[in-house]
Structure 1
Amino acid sequence: MTCAVSAHGHAHHLPCVRMRFLYVFSRSKIGSGARLISVCYFESENDWWVSKHIKKPIRSTVLSLDWHPNNVLLAAGSCDFKCRVFSAYIKEVDEKPAPTPWGSKMPFGQVMSEFGGAGSGGWVHSVCFSASGNRLAWVSHDSTVTVVDPTISSTPSQLKTEYLALLSVTFVSENNIVAAGHDCCPMLFSFDDGGNLTFISKLDIPKQSIQRNISAMERFRNMDKRATTEDRNSTLETLHQNSITQVSIYEGDKRDCRKFCTTGIDGAMTIWDFKTLESSIQGLRIM
């Protein structure tokens, strides 16, 4: 995919891995296998989209991206096990940004913060800023969830889960995040004002299994969803029957999410209502 050419007129043909449009739809950013981030903006004089590249110090494919609420900073997670916060300030396009907890000097491509690596961790599958922009969460291939808030500490809080790797994460309030991945079930985590990160609950209630004969149609569906013709014994106790690849807000926003959506490799899209979840899961409260 070629979304735009560089300022020098060169098109890049390595695969686009992740793309995010800015909230005001004036710019977008693309992470690619070329170990760079393309920050694209519309140049009205030439009636064309052009891009500026952030290359250093990225050492591998960029897997995940998220815009900061100020529309200038962006977070990126990559296969070099690093999560970074960059400045995407373009003087010709943006108003001068106000100082943030991530820093005050923001020339284009400036690394505001860098986390992870040093021989540990895993591919950073998903990154997400909170509604205030003061908190950043990410999930990695080593089954960890990490949150950092520079107003509390420059050291991230990390939780090593007992589950398979999580592939997507989003804030549903300033203190709560939902993540999901290869366990086929969304999970709720809490990050309090003291900087403590804790696992709260799985958000999918297991279904009771029903013994029955498998039909030809179900066998075909199994081939499509799970790449298998196995019978009922392979049916998971979760709504999703394969890995969840994306968690997104369906109703509300990152400050007060009322419903969220999950999509997975099984081809299913599920809407989750927090009011329903709170009534069905004992002790669950979204703060």
Structure 2
Amino acid sequence: MAQQVHTLSLGPLTAHAFNADRSQVAVCPNSNEVLIYIKDASGSWSLQHTLSEHDKLVTGIDWAPKTNRIVTCSQDRNAYVWTPIVNTATGSEEWKPTLVLLRINRAATFARWSPNEDKFAVASGARIVAICSFEEDNDWWVAKHIKKPLRSTVLSLDWHPNNVLIACGSADMKARVFSAFIKGVDAKPPPSVWGERLPFGTVCAEFRTPAGGWVHGTAFSPSGDAVAFVGHDSSLTVAYPSGPDSPPHAIHVIRSAALPHVTLTFISENALVAAGHGCQPILFEGDAASGWKASKTLDAAGAAAGKGAPPPPPPKAPGLATVSSVGRLNNEAFNRFKAADAKGASAPPTSGATAGGSAGAFGAVAGASLSADGELHTTHQNTITSIRPYQGAAGAVSAISTSGVDGRLCVFNVNAGASLAKAMGSLRV
């Protein structure tokens, strides 16, 4: 069950990011604006600022915890770096935008600050990743492009802890690790399993989804020695490289009958949380030697909730079962479509139906099933679009935050939840 549930928008939330002390949050309500909310004494959120420099839908937000700067990117092919300043006339805080020339001809799709916060990366539909750094002499942000061998839209990014390597997931069904080393900005990184000599644009590794699905989300482990990614083929892959010219030490693939995940984050070296179209965050645990498996759902209330099946319809009077009147659709085929439209069921309810009886037809996992009452028993009522660490240090995250298409911002405790094996017993698959 979620620790906190806040409805910040009547429409989808495309992205969210907290400041360092979690007292403010920036969200995009599926528009060209970024809304900054501040938490009051009662624990509720009130609108403080509206950032509206973008012309089209904002697709990525990231808030640097040390420098307190925000980077945003949009379908207008631009990015802005927002810096808090104090208005000398009014004494109030304002956000000053600085335009970043990305030099891309398609929409920007994702943005992330590097760990040292001296550069940031922006993914795009132009088959380009723009690595942006600040030039003191000219007082502007400049972008260097990673292009080859990207073959389609880049959908996600994640920085390695060494501030040099970056993982990219794209719609060409591959996850890649590149070097984003910029001379004069980065110090030479120590040798690692990803390589020793890392000039800008070097492809350190390339992995493919098992069934050719788009790579929606990527994440490095806290040590940086493993990378995980989720695909639209309902797969999660965790790869352990062994060197630049050697085959991977291990690649573990988890195939799921549930709906695809679109975002993920590591909470420790041996645990990660993924979420997406299943509307609930799922905890995965494992290591290189023993493999990975789905451990539990963090949405315990969803697994426990559920209503009984509605009572069966009263029996028809004798002689009426075979009577058919002209102009009335009351046959089995019509009733099947009617049930699918009204309750999302694959077949009309029967007296033998149980709670979550249609879950098997939808490939749902525990807590995300459409029960016989036609309701989705999860905290999020639509796709989860973003997961971010909320509480705890890197490698020891104790809580995560999620935002979704239902306009909700939720916080889940990673130590709570319900066993998938236990909850699946209530489903008819």
Q: Same fold (TM over 0.5)?
A: yes
> Deviations 1:220-271 (Å, cap 9, x if unpaired)?
xxxxxxxx99899442011110011111110013411111111110011111
Tell whether the 8 Å contact from 1:157 to 1:195 is kept in structure 2 after alignment. no
Tell whether the 8 Å contact from 1:2 to 1:13 is kept in structure 2 after alignment. no
Q: Offset of 1:23 from its aligned partner?
A: 2.1
> Deviations 1:183-242 (Å, cap 9, x if unpaired)?
10111111224051112122222224499xxxxxxxxxxxxxxxx998994420111100
Tell whether the 8 Å contact from 1:235 to 1:241 is kept in structure 2 after alignment. no
Q: Given the alignment of the two structures, is residue 99 of structure 1 paired with residue 188 of structure 2, yes or no?
A: no
> C-alpha separation between the residues in 1 aligned to 2:169 and 2:408?
26
> Deviations 1:60-94 (Å, cap 9, x if unpaired)?
00000000000000000000001000000011211
2:335 maps to none
RMSD of Structure 2 on Structure 1 (CA): 2.6
2:362 maps to none
> C-alpha separation between the residues in 2 aligned to 1:175 and 1:275?
14
The amino acid of 1:168's aligned partner reads: T
Structural mapping, 1:1-287, within 5 Å? 1-3=77-79, 4-5=100-101, 11-116=103-208, 120-151=211-242, 153-205=248-300, 206=302, 207-209=305-307, 233-277=373-417
2:67 maps to none
How many pairs are equivalent? 262
> C-alpha separation between the residues in 1 aligned to 2:126 and 2:421?
46
The amino acid of 1:52's aligned partner reads: K
> C-alpha separation between the residues in 2 aligned to 1:57 and 1:203?
37
CA shift in 2, pair 1:243/1:282, >3 Å? closer
> C-alpha separation between the residues in 1 aligned to 2:188 and 2:171?
32
Tell whether the 8 Å contact from 1:137 to 1:148 is kept in structure 2 after alignment. yes
Runs (5+) with no aligned partner, structure 1: 212-227
Structure 1 moving runs of 4+ over 6 Å = 228-232
> Deviations 1:150-187 (Å, cap 9, x if unpaired)?
25944421111111010111111100111011110111
CA shift in 2, pair 1:162/1:44, >3 Å? same
CA shift in 2, pair 1:229/1:16, >3 Å? farther
Tell whether the 8 Å contact from 2:297 to 2:420 is kept in structure 1 after alignment. no
The amino acid of 1:186's aligned partner reads: P
Structure 1 range deviating more: 46-55 or 191-200: 191-200
Structure 1 range deviating more: 40-49 or 265-274: 265-274
Q: Offset of 1:13 from its aligned partner?
A: 3.8
State the SS of the aligned residue for 1:257: coil
> C-alpha separation between the residues in 2 aligned to 1:201 and 1:173?
15
2:63 maps to none
State the SS of the aligned residue for 2:295: strand
State the SS of the aligned residue for 2:212: coil
> C-alpha separation between the residues in 2 aligned to 1:195 and 1:71?
29
Tell whether the 8 Å contact from 1:149 to 1:195 is kept in structure 2 after alignment. no
2:328 maps to none
> C-alpha separation between the residues in 1 aligned to 2:197 and 2:396?
31
Tell whether the 8 Å contact from 2:296 to 2:420 is kept in structure 1 after alignment. no
Q: Offset of 1:37 from its aligned partner?
A: 0.4
> C-alpha separation between the residues in 1 aligned to 2:227 and 2:393?
16
Q: Offset of 1:120 from its aligned partner?
A: 3.4
Using CA pairs under 8 Å that are at least 6 residues apart, name the structure with larger relative contact order, 1 or 2: 2
Structure 1 range deviating more: 258-267 or 52-61: 258-267
Runs (5+) with no aligned partner, structure 2: 1-76, 80-99, 310-340, 345-371, 423-429
CA shift in 2, pair 1:93/1:121, >3 Å? same
1:215 maps to none
The amino acid of 1:140's aligned partner reads: G
> Deviations 1:80-120 (Å, cap 9, x if unpaired)?
00100000001121111111111111000000000116x93
Tell whether the 8 Å contact from 1:209 to 1:237 is kept in structure 2 after alignment. no
> C-alpha separation between the residues in 1 aligned to 2:383 and 2:190?
40
> C-alpha separation between the residues in 2 aligned to 1:283 and 1:100?
38
> Deviations 1:21-57 (Å, cap 9, x if unpaired)?
1122210001001001000000001101001000000
